[in-house]
Structure 1
Amino acid sequence: MELLSPAGNVEKLYYAYAYGADAAYIGLKRFSLRVKADNFYEDEYKKVIELKNKFPGRKLHCALNIAFHNNDIDNFIRDIDYFKQYPIDAFIVQDLGIVPLIQKEFPDADLHLSTQASCINREAVKMYKSLGFKRVVLGREASLKEIREIKDAVPDIELEAFVHGAMCIAYSGRCLMSALLTGRSAQSGFCSHTCRWEFDLKSAKKIAESGELVLEERSRRGEYFPVYEGDDFTEILSSKDIRMIEHLKDMKDAGLDSLKIEGRMKSTYYVALVTRAYRKALDALEGKIKQEEAAPFIAELENVSHRESTTGFYYSRADADKTTQGASDSAYDLAATIGTKLTDDEQRAVLNRASLTQKAIDDELDAMHPKAREARERDLEKNPDRRIVTVKENNGWRMYKYEPLNMVDYDSELEFISPDVVSVKAEKGKWLLVDPENGTVRNWVCNGHPCVLYTQYELQNGTLLRTKDNGYIAGKVRDTGR
């Protein structure tokens, strides 16, 4: 089975591939249901081409899954020459009006039907196949039993289904709630996620806290939907996250060809760890590694932001109908991305700059009056943070490009994670943060600071650096906005 991961920007596309995705799906500005994701534009196609060359055999799917208005089609036609520069293997669409245009302008790209089309039966699959679709991304309401029946009826079409991530409370994600409350249409890519808002029931608060408040639709007497308020809010429409990593064999037996991870708006950390977990689980299923080897990678899903999980509609609708409360949360923050190892010449250049900086410091001290130098030394003894320290060559240590995302200092609890290593604690004394411009050792760094990592650890390409979130409490989900 293909493992398909989300990529909201070029960086996430790299980590999707590096952490084991067979394919990744992206969006293009204005034509994707995740407009608030970074998506792709300008000259980023050049970077995408480089990534495809770096990871040969990996596929790139492009989501054009909005409901197109006339002006959207006009804009798409206007930008077609630009889109042709991307190495796109398949387009994911829900609007049939755009199909002839794609078939004409992108004859080498496959057509994949978006889950937004709500295709959940064999006759619909047959119809879409007759229109030229190679793959159907099934509606999330399809059970594994129904998927098996569809595959048996139409064996020569590829079937794809979601395996992990957030689910929309609306039928196949076709929600009008955002448009109604905020004027932002989910079908045009501007969903405000109103289903996850925390509503206060005001005068009904006491009743809601008792659990006795229920919704009943007047023409369906006797069918009750409970509404419970806790901690001054209620979430009656917030669905659980889907998680099927423990049921991959069942998905394979159902005839699925591709497993899709939700999350083009999720973080790089999320994309990397979820992709890695499913890669290892699939490798274990296929006998490439032992289940015991995959287990610690799967356990790391608990360290990624998530809500309560469910198996969705795959086994029982009752599983999907259960809602949850609270925002997604994680025990870790992504501190930095670790880039490629510096070449010998690049590392030598940083060490040479450090030597020049140290010489300048020594020359300044030597030029000072003895009393002034003594005063300077006393000040530095009292305030060691003011002392400028330059990096010295350590035998066996290597420098890596370092892109800080959150603040890190030498008291931070850091862990390296990589495609094939669950995690390694970065012990103090075995790493330094260095300013590559002058070779000085940094006491701390945050986003925007030029930096290289100098360490005795041998790091795999694609390594990430994470730090414990001190505000995280196990079992308590905070509203962090993630």
Structure 2
Amino acid sequence: MRDTELPLHAIELLAPARDADTGIAAIDHGADAVYIGGPAFGARQAAGNAMEEIRRLCDYAHRYHARVFMALNTLFKDDEIEKARSLAFEAAKAGVDVLIIQDMGLLQGPLPDIELHASTQCDIRTPEKCAFLEKVGFSQIVVARELDLDAIRACRQALRKTRIEYFVHGALCVSLSGRCYMSEAMLGRSANRGACAQLCRLPYDVYTENGQRLATRSHVLSLKDNNQSANLEALIDAGVSSFKIEGRLKDIDYVKNITAYYRQAIDRILARRPDLCRSSDGRTRTTFTPDPAKSF
């Protein structure tokens, strides 16, 4: 086990960071880990960061044994693999603890001695896929957010030491995780290349095959935001070790509010569950009452 790898009973709150300042704010408001985009190849093209900024975030996070994940989770073209590999080594040198990966081609050559996490873009929904990802070296996997408790439990039973990460808050895709091709088909902007146009958020007119109008300018493809705060303990008991907040494009106020909200919810569970522990050493006290209804 690498120094940064966590046991299954260490519960992690993982917050998004569009930049270093947002990541630092997330840690200040209770995050055990943050995930951030690097200079290239992140699944959010608009949320890239220079490596020096990531180094600054790592230096701050490590004071509290918090971890920094860097998203390297697009699909690569053949002529991009070596650049992506070079970024992986730069990230490790900057202090990044974890690389989030989608493209298995990156595993076919040398990588730094760093934790690898399988991205939500990998569409992880079966025990067989979980077992495969553990076998090839992933220490944490983001299972599909469409899974119910029984499916998560089945994934947990297929794993030995690899931890399960699960999205508990934020936007939901109308498609299956990592398998939406709407943006690519309509605009040539691939979600798996970090360029999703989020066409599912737009209003549409809906017609039957006979031409009867069923809806006018309706957001029929835009799902309500995810909020699993009432189900955290059930998710823990099903096998989830890392609770992930969606939103690398969200502003700093959103991240502060939602991170503090989940920090308090998780701490209430940890206070009465001696079999569990927090994954970082930071302790936080907020001067406001976090409310997920106040930021989107």
Shorter chain as normaliser: what TM range?
0.7 to 0.9
Other-structure match for 1:2 = 12
2:5 maps to: none
Q: 1:194 to 1:152 in 2, by over 3 A?
A: same
| Residue from 96, 100, 107 that aligns with 2:104 | 96
Q: Please, which of 122, 127, 134 is the counterpart of residue 117 of structure 1? A: 122
Contact 1:29 1:35 in 2 (8 A): no
Structure 1 counterpart of 2:111, from 102, 105, 108: 105
Of structures 1 and 2, the larger Rg is shown by 1
User: In the TM superposition, what whole-angstrom CA distance separates every residue of 1:326-358 from its partner, at most 9, and x where no partner exists?
Assistant: xxxxxxxxxxxxxxxxxxxxxxxxxxxxxxxxx
Q: Contact 1:159/1:258 (CA < 8 Å) preserved in 2?
A: yes
Counterpart selection for 1:43 from 49, 52, 55: 52
Q: Which amino acid in 1 is paired with 2:264?
A: K
Distance 1:111 1:42 in 2: 18
Is 2:36 the partner of 1:26?
yes
CA contact (8 A) 2:43 2:194 kept: yes
Q: Please list, as runs of the form range in 1=range in 2, the aligned pairs for 1:161-200 lying within 5 A after superposition.
A: 161-199=166-204
- Contact 2:81/2:106, CA 8 A, preserved across alignment: yes
126, 134, 141: which is aligned to 1:136? 141
Which residue of structure 2 lines up, in the alignment, with residue 303 of structure 1?
294
1:333 matched residue in structure 2: none
SS in 2 for 1:76: helix
2:88 touches 2:112 (CA, 8 Å); kept in 1? no
Deviation (angstroms), 1:135: 1.2
Task: Classify 1:248/1:215 alpha carbon distance in 2 versus 1 (closer, same or farther; 3 Å).
Answer: farther
What amino acid maps onto 1:158 in structure 2?
R
Which residue matches 2:215?
228
SS at match of 1:20: coil
**Conserved? CA contact 2:88–2:99, under 8 Å:** no
| Gap change, CA 1:268 and 1:215, over 3 Å in 2 | farther
Label 1:243 to 1:84 Cα distance change in 2 as closer, same or farther (>3 A): same
How many Å apart are 1:18 and its aligned residue? 0.5
Give the aligned partner of residue 344 of structure 1.
none
Judged with a 3 Å threshold, the aligned counterparts in structure 2 of structure 1 residues 85 and 240 are, in CA distance, closer, same or farther, namely same
**Partner of 1:259: helix, strand, or coil?**
strand
In the alignment, structure 1 residue 13 sits paired with structure 2 residue 23: yes
Is residue 30–residue 189 contact of structure 1 (8 Å, CA) maintained in 2?
Answer: no
Shift in CA distance, 156/76, structure 1 to aligned 2, threshold 3 Å: closer
CA distance in 2, matches of 1:73, 1:151: 31
Are positions 1:62 and 2:70 aligned together?
Answer: yes
- SS at the partner of 1:172? coil
Structure 1 partner of 2:252: 268
Report the CA distance shift for 1:62/1:49 in structure 2 as closer, same or farther (over 3 A): closer
Greater shift, 275-284 or 88-97, is seen at: 88-97
CA distance in 1 between partners of 2:224 and 2:264 (Å): 24
* Preserved CA contact (<8 Å) 1:62 1:90: yes
Deviations 1:127-180 (A, max 9, x none): 111111111110122211111122133242211110000011121032221122
Give 1:22 shift.
0.5
**Structure 1 residues 284 and 80, CA, compared in 2 at 3 Å: closer, same or farther?**
closer
1:284 maps to: 268
Preserved CA contact (<8 Å) 1:20 1:276: yes
The structural deviation recorded for 1:215 is: 6.3
Of structures 1 and 2, the one with the larger relative CO (CA 8 A, separation 6+) is: 2
Residue 84 of structure 1: SS of its match in structure 2?
Answer: helix
Whole-Å separation in 2 of the counterparts to 1:275 and 1:113: 22
- Residue 313 of structure 1 corresponds to which residue in structure 2? none
Aligned to 2:82: 74
- Kindly provide the CA deviation profile for residues 407-465 of structure 1, in whole angstroms up to 9, marking residues without a partner as x: xxxxxxxxxxxxxxxxxxxxxxxxxxxxxxxxxxxxxxxxxxxxxxxxxxxxxxxxxxx
TM-fit CA distance, 1:198:
2.2
Structure 2 letter corresponding to 1:173:
G
Cα distance between partner residues in 2 of 1:42 and 1:122:
36
Q: Quick one: distance in 2 between partners of 1:163 and 1:80?
A: 27
Aligned counterparts of 2:55 and 2:36: Cα–Cα separation in 1: 15
Give the TM-score, by structure 2 length: 0.84
1:169 is paired with a residue whose SS is: coil
* Contact 1:164–1:244 under 8 Å retained in 2: yes
CA distance in 1, matches of 2:132, 2:181: 27
Gaps of 5+ in 1: 202-207, 217-225, 306-482
Alpha-carbon contact 2:130-2:159 (below 8 Å) kept:
yes
Task: For 2:234 and 2:215, locate their aligned partners in 1 and report how far apart those are by CA, in whole Å.
Answer: 34
* Aligned residue pairs, count: 272
Which of 207, 221, 225 is the matching residue for 1:237?
A: 221
1:86 is matched by which residue type in structure 2?
A: A
Deviation at 1:80, TM superposition (A): 4.9
Quote how far apart the aligned CAs of 1:56 are: 2.1
Q: Quick one: distance in 2 between partners of 1:277 and 1:47?
A: 25
CA RMSD of aligned residues (A): 2.4
Letter in 1 for 2:292: L
CA shift in 2, pair 1:146/1:215, >3 Å: farther
